């Protein structure tokens, strides 16, 4: 089987690492990939939204399945593009149609979908440019803190949470006036949910689904969950509170109604669904849907996935996923992300990277924002530079190993959080 994986971050390195282990893989291509994915397959220099070039490459290289890492090409309709072309139709896409991708690309669409299908989520209302007075009235009826979300994709930055009603009103005006461009031409205002977050992942062929290991993500830049939101500074899997009782509620109240809703609305959906959930006193609520795997959650989840990933993708393509085996390894995985100094604000790129050798080859070093410079030397090229994953019998054990591995990586300005997993060990 030949797979073309689209994307270039830590998530894609982790997916490539897992895919490459399968005896069923003949060729793995990654577009555009990074120096890490180059260790797992062949990087090809095509951008993730260049559907023409991806189609041409896939046809000429007998690609069977395209696995889409990030949301952007999905929101731009990569699955529809392939489905509409007679010469590309035979190539399966592990990723939803453009309409399916709206679960992530439009918060208003996602909230409306959840209401229609009775999926637990925070109460909300959506306001557009001519509705700010109604927005003020709605805010006045809510209790602090106030949650405002840009409707469209805003690179994870489109959510504002504030304690002050005045700030919430100002934020609403700024958003409607274009703070996040077209993405905030509509704003969802919702009730604040109190609890602990957990990321739940499934892979579906449109009928059946496989539940993948869950994970907890650490979104804020600072220790103790302080400071600005980032793409994610670390992940832990499993999540102790996501026990059988909780996960049963998640499947029955959230995963299954979501899949049934997609079918009922005739929305083509094959691929990953990422449920961003809040555990509110033992009851799961959906905070957001994503139509892809999480980053850095994937780097922890892949270390626990007991399955042949290409076999699962083939099950998605052939719509017989229920016949494929998908298990979870019992060990704990901890992922730590090292970032460029200044991230998520401005930061410098092009800093030389050294990775000290080690006799412990059980720790995984996933490249996120790295590249090779003109001399072939590894340098930083993004905010999140590496994700390091270690496994162990407990969070403490895995974490100790992961921090040791992170110490082997040096680059100027390197920053990471030292408290990943602390909250879970203190529970």
- The residues that touch ligand AMP, with contacts defined as CB under 6 A, are 122, 147, 149, 159, 190, 192-193, 197, 219, 276, 287-288
The entry of ligand GLY, ligand AMP, none that residue 190 binds, CB within 5 to 8 Å by partner kind: ligand AMP
Find, among 74, 427, 69, the residue nearest to 231 by Cα: 69
The entry of ligand GLY, ligand AMP, none that residue 32 binds, CB within 5 to 8 Å by partner kind: none
Query: Which of 126, 290, 338, 340 is close enough to bind ligand GLY by CB under 6 A?
Result: 290
Distance of CA 421 to the CA centre of its chain: 19
* 295 binds ligand GLY per the rule CB under 6 A: yes
Query: Which stretch in 91-99, 187-195, 294-302, 381-389 sits in contact with ligand GLY by CB under 6 A?
Result: 294-302
The entry of ligand AMP, ligand GLY, none that residue 80 binds, CB within 5 to 8 Å by partner kind: none
| Long-range CB pairs of 157-165, under 8 A, 24+ apart, other chains included | 157/229, 158/183, 158/184, 159/229, 161/192, 165/139, 165/140
Backbone angle region of 353, left / alpha / beta, with phi > 0 → left and psi within -120 to 50 → alpha: beta
Burial of 255 per CB tally in 10 Å (0-12, 13-18, 19+): buried
How many residues sit in the footprint of ligand GLY (CB under 6 A)? 7
Positions in 227-246 near ligand GLY (CB under 6 A): 232
Pairwise CA distance, residues 352 & 350, whole Å: 6
* 108 binds ligand GLY per the rule CB under 6 A: no
CB-nearer residue toward ligand GLY: 12 or 217: 217
The entry of ligand AMP, ligand GLY, none that residue 251 binds, CB within 5 to 8 Å by partner kind: none
Transcribe 143-198 into DSSP letters: PSSEEEEESS--TT--EEEES-HHHHHHHHHHHHTTTTGGGGSEEEEE----SEEE
CB-nearer residue toward ligand GLY: 149 or 351: 149
Find, among 301, 256, 259, the residue nearest to 103 by Cα: 259
Query: Which stretch in 73-81, 186-194, 245-253, 293-301 sits in contact with ligand GLY by CB under 6 A?
Result: 293-301
State the nearest-atom distance from the C-beta of 295 to ligand GLY, in Å: 4
CB-nearer residue toward ligand AMP: 199 or 338: 199
* 294 binds ligand GLY per the rule CB under 6 A: yes
The entry of ligand AMP, ligand GLY, none that residue 71 binds, CB within 5 to 8 Å by partner kind: none
For the beta carbon of residue 117, count every other beta carbon within 10 angstroms: 16
- Cβ within 8 Å of residue 299, ≥6 positions away: 10, 11, 13, 14, 235, 335, 364, 366, 387, 389
CB-nearer residue toward ligand AMP: 9 or 206: 9
**β-bridge mates for residue 42, sequence order:** 29
Token digits of residue 319: 């719509």
State the nearest-atom distance from the C-beta of 352 to ligand AMP, in Å: 34
The entry of ligand GLY, ligand AMP, none that residue 295 binds, CB within 5 to 8 Å by partner kind: ligand GLY
Query: Which of 72, 80, 297, 314 is close enough to bind ligand GLY by CB under 6 A?
Result: 297
- What is the torsion angle, in degrees rounded to the nearest 10, for the CA atoms of residue 147, residue 152, residue 157 and residue 161? -10
Burial of 12 per CB tally in 10 Å (0-12, 13-18, 19+): buried
Pairwise CA distance, residues 111 & 152, whole Å: 12
Query: Which stretch in 139-147, 251-259, 290-298, 381-389 sits in contact with ligand GLY by CB under 6 A?
Result: 290-298
State the nearest-atom distance from the C-beta of 350 to ligand GLY, in Å: 25
* 258 binds ligand GLY per the rule CB under 6 A: no
State the nearest-atom distance from the C-beta of 38 to ligand GLY, in Å: 23
- What is the torsion angle, in degrees rounded to the nearest 10, for the CA atoms of residue 347, residue 352, residue 357 and residue 360? 20
Query: Which stretch in 58-66, 167-175, 185-193, 289-297 sits in contact with ligand GLY by CB under 6 A?
Result: 289-297
Interface residues toward ligand GLY, by CB under 6 A: 156, 217, 232, 290, 294-295, 297
């Amino acid at each position: 089987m030949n797979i073309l994986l689209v994307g270039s971050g830590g998530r894609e390195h982790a997916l490539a690492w897992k895919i490459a282990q399968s005896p069923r893989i003949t060729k793995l291509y990654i577009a555009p990939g990074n120096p890490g994915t180059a260790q797992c397959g062949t990087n090809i220099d095509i951008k993730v939204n260049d559907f023409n070039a991806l189609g041409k490459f896939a046809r000429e290289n007998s690609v069977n399945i395209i696995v889409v890492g990030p949301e952007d090409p999905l929101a731009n309709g990569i699955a529809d593009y392939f489905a509409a072309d007679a010469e590309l139709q035979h190539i399966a896409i592990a990723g939803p149609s453009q309409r399916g991708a709206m679960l992530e690309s439009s918060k208003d669409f996602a909230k409306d979908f959840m209401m229609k299908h009775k999926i637990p989520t925070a109460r909300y209302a959506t306001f557009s440019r001519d509705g700010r007075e109604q927005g003020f009235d709605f805010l006045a009826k809510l209790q602090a803190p106030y949650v405002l979300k840009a409707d469209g994709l805003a690179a994870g930055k489109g959510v504002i949470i504030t304690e002050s009603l005045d700030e919430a009103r100002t934020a609403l005006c700024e958003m409607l006036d274009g703070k996040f461009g077209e993405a905030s031409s509509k704003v969802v205002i919702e009730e604040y949910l109190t609890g602990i977050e957990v990321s739940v992942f499934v892979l579906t062929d449109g009928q059946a689904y496989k539940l993948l290991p869950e994970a907890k993500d650490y979104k804020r830049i600072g220790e103790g969950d302080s400071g600005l939101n980032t793409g994610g500074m670390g992940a832990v899997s499993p999540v102790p509170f996501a026990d059988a009782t909780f996960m049963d509620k998640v499947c029955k109240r959230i995963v299954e109604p979501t899949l049934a809703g997609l079918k009922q609305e005739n929305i083509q959906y094959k691929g990953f669904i990422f449920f961003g959930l809040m555990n509110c006193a033992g009851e799961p609520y959906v905070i957001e849907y994503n139509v892809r795997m999480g980053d850095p959650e994937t780097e922890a989840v892949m270390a626990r996935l007991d399955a042949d990933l290409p076999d699962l993708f083939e099950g998605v393509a052939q719509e017989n996923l229920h016949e494929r085996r998908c298990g979870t390894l019992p060990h704990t995985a901890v992922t730590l992300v090292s970032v460029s100094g200044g991230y998520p604000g401005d930061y410098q790129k092009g800093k030389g990277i050294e990775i000290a050798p080690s006799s412990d080859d059980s720790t995984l070093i996933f490249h996120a924002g790295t590249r090779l410079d003109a001399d072939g030397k590894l340098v930083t090229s993004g905010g999140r530079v590496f994700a390091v994953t270690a496994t162990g019998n407990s969070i403490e054990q895995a974490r100790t190993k992961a921090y040791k591995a992170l110490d082997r990586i040096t680059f100027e300005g390197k920053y990471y959080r030292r408290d990943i997993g602390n909250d879970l060990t203190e529970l």
